Amino acid sequence: MILETMNRWNLPLILGSASPRRLDLLRAAGFNPKVQVSDIDESVLPAESPESYVERLAISKAHAIEEESVSIVAGDTIVVLDGKILGKPASSDEAIHVLGQLSGREHRIVGGWCVRGSGEYYSGVEECRVWFRELSEVEIFEYVNTGEPMDKAGSYAIQGGAGRFVTRFEGYWSNAVGLALIPVVSHLEKFARR
């Protein structure tokens, strides 16, 4: 039995993330979460893989919320190039540099997710592979000047202006935007049926 959209909307749910993209994805899937942001240390641990890092952050964000009577969703997303994590740019110059590195290359978007409820939790990692065409200095500069890259891992939004840079994509589109909806919704529905 799959929950009807109205039942999803009424499911008590907290999104443990300040990401407007995660909120939009959950709403598009029929949920109406409240947002509660927890302050956790997001430093990468020594020798930690990108996959372990994003899953650990998602779990930490979900467990930092003290509510017990609701379901909780948390996630984290990073861009990985040649094994290196590309976080959110600290400046326009950094965004320009990162986009220059991604130009004409394949990279990965790695998303960790956690769903907590009914005294248990499920977590996982999803990966997308993305190929960018060669980008000119002018189009990188113009894109960065839109401001869109400044709060995005890897300095771009695939669902925004940078979508035109993509020549090939493999994986869950929602994961590239910010949250792997297929496994997340599946586990939320398990909790709701109990």
Residues with catalytic annotation? Answer: 76
Name the nearest CA neighbour of 57 among 111, 10, 135: 111
Number of Cβ within 10 Å of residue 140's Cβ equals 22
DSSP 14-55: EE----HHHHHHHHHTT---EE-------PPPTT--HHHHHH
Q: Distance between CA 74 and CA 55 in Å, rounded?
A: 10
DSSP 163-191: GGGEEEEES-HHHHHT--HHHHHHHHHHH
